[in-house]
């Protein structure tokens, strides 16, 4: 009978998804979407299940520390399903305002009983009630170490190496602000297709459909969607190609490239085509964009997006950009939006922080440099290249550029025009580092290079 209660089902499904992620190392979004598609949960239960899964993956180091401190056994020594049930209870108590503490405890005890942990349901009850007693006594049971690195890592639930990288580059205050920002739910920004509609018309249509929409100042074609949105493809204008979902930091990359109608542009890492299609819109669909990517299934998305937006100047090319020879000296402008560790998008992809490792990143940086070295040869003399990443990790950003420039004496950084609308984002080194807590958008790095 218990399982029939709708909120119980949301929690039961969240437990099932979390255990699948643990067992199979599945991507959080993939496991969640697959399970939700197969379920018949109501829309409010879907929201609760989504909140629990994303929130628990995001905060799991903090939640484990709480278990370590409140339980007799450390989190890692608990049976895996008990650990996740405790996460579900503690997450509701610590991070969700709309669930009464008694409901959080009772449903977690029920989860234990319904999942063959009858014997351990008392442990769940005990740990959760102890947490509530501490909070009621104005005492946070999460005891943090004095060491800054460990303190931030446990408080905000990050691996040590990310905190260490950020502390070294940005210091404690900025690191803490970034950690806080990345633990919030992501914004959804969209880019209006000016070849089909305009900002005001789309804003009116979306508002009439009940979506809370705000323009984003400096960005001429951007709107931010807030609150409950529903399913993206069903919103006004989407299937007619009037807009695309794209964060404003990502939008900035194509403005920075500054493509002109009639030019030849080569996009070395194009899929799924967010920037390629933006470039085509900025060129008024006049000219040629070669959209290269080594993964055919992802490149298909570029074609689908171009079709929906009715853009005709994009030609897709399947291949490894480290070895493509056909573009030597062909590009007026080249975009190198490399595969990266994605640390600027941790709010959208809560599992990236646990998936990436310093070893992965060493492999990525060699790949990034190899792609850049090859794509640089595609640029015509006096042409330009924009290198960009969605990460906040100097070895993939500044250090790649320094290495490239030290081995390519005829290349230099091209400073943006000081009157450019986005000049305030440009650093004294003439590259752009979008810091999420400052710009309220994804963390990005971009630099423009000119061939002599
Ligand atoms: C950051 S994503 C690109 C995002 C894209 N520019 C956009 O705005 O939608 C990086 C892409 O690089 C592709 N990739 C990785 N290694 C590559 C290589 N050696 N040659 C070409 N593409 C590669 C991946 O398949 C992935 O689609």
Is the CB of residue 371 below 6 angstroms from any atom belonging to ligand 1? yes
Residue 73's contacts (CB-CB under 8 Å, 6 or more residues apart) are none
d(CA 110, CA 388): 49
Is the CB of residue 295 below 6 angstroms from any atom belonging to ligand 1? yes
d(CA 266, CA 378): 8
Is the pLDDT at 232 greater than 60? The verdict is yes
Question: Of all residues in the chain, what percent carry a pLDDT higher than 70?
Answer: 98
Is the pLDDT at 5 greater than 70? The verdict is no
What domains can you pick out in the chain, each with its CATH number?
2-143 (1.10.940.10), 149-183 (no CATH), 188-245 (3.30.70.1170), 248-451 (3.40.50.150)
d(CA 251, CA 221): 9
Show which residues are catalytic: 390
pLDDT tens readout for residues 269-299: 999 999 999 999 999 999 999 999 999 999 9
pLDDT of residue 3: 42
Please count the residues of the chain.
Answer: 452
Return the structure tokens found at 248. 């404003």
ipTM > 0.95? yes
Provide the 10 A C-beta neighbour count for residue 270: 27
> Is residue 320 part of an annotated ligand binding site?
yes
Question: Of all residues in the chain, what percent carry a pLDDT higher than 90?
Answer: 95
- Among 434, 438, 390, 432, smallest CA distance to 414 is for 432
Is the CB of residue 275 below 6 angstroms from any atom belonging to ligand 1? yes
Separation of 216 CA from ligand 1 center, angstroms? 27
The least confident of 103-107, 227-231, 267-271 is 227-231
pLDDT of residue 7: 45
Separation of 255 CA from ligand 1 center, angstroms? 19
pLDDT of residue 4: 41
**Prediction pTM value:** 0.95
pLDDT of residue 187: 87
Separation of 317 CA from ligand 1 center, angstroms? 12
pLDDT tens readout for residues 144-179: 999 999 999 999 999 999 999 999 999 999 999 999
Is the pLDDT at 1 greater than 80? The verdict is no
Residue 197's contacts (CB-CB under 8 Å, 6 or more residues apart) are 237, 242, 243
Range 209-220 average pLDDT:
93
Range 45-55 average pLDDT:
95
């Amino acid at each position: 009978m218990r399982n029939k209660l709708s909120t119980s089902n949301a929690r039961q499904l969240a437990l099932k998804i979390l255990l699948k992620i643990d067992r199979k190392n599945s991507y959080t979004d993939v496991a969640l979407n697959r399970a939700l598609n197969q379920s018949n949960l109501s829309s409010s239960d879907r929201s609760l299940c989504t909140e629990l899964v994303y929130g628990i993956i995001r905060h799991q180091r903090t939640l484990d520390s709480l278990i370590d401190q409140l339980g007799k056994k450390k989190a890692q020594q608990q049976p895996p399903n008990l650990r996740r049930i405790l996460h579900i209870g503690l997450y509701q108590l610590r991070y969700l305002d709309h669930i009464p503490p008694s409901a959080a405890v009772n449903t977690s005890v029920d989860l234990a009983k319904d999942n063959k942990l009858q014997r351990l349901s008392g442990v769940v009850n005990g740990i959760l009630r102890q947490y509530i007693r501490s909070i009621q006594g104005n005492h946070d049971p999460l005891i943090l170490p004095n060491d800054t690195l460990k303190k931030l890592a446990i408080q905000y639930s990050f691996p040590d190496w990310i905190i260490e990288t950020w502390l070294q580059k940005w210091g404690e205050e900025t690191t803490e602000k970034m950690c806080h920002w990345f633990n919030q739910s992501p914004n959804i920004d969209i880019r209006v297709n000016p070849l089909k509609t305009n900002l005001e018309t789309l804003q009116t249509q979306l508002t009439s459909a009940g979506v809370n929409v705000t323009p984003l100042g400096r960005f001429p074609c951007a709107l931010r969607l807030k609150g409950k949105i529903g399913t993206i493809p069903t919103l006004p204008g989407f299937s007619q190609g009037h807009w695309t979902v794209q964060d404003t930091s990502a939008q900035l990359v194509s403005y920075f490239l500054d493509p002109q109608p009639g030019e030849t542009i080569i996009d070395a890492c194009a899929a799924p085509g967010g920037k390629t299609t933006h470039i085509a819109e900025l060129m008024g669909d006049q000219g040629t964009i070669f959209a290269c990517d080594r993964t055919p299934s992802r490149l298909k998305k570029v074609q689908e997006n171009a079709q929906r937006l009715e853009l005709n100047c994009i030609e897709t090319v399947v291949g490894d950009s480290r070895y493509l020879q056909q573009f030597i000296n062909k590009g007026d402008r080249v975009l190198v939006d490399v595969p990266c560790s994605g640390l600027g998008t941790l709010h959208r992809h809560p599992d990236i922080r646990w998936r990436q490792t310093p070893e992965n990143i060493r492999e990525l940086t060699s790949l990034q440099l190899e792609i850049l070295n090859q794509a640089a040869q595609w640029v015509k003399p006096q042409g330009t290249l924009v290198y960009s990443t969605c990460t906040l990790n100097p070895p993939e950003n500044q250090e790649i550029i320094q290495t490239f420039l030290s081995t390519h004496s005829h290349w230099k950084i091209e400073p943006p025009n000081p009157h450019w609308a986005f000049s305030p984002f440009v650093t004294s080194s003439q590259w752009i580092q979008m810091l999420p807590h400052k710009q309220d958008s994804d963390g990005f790095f971009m630099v423009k290079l000119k061939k002599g």
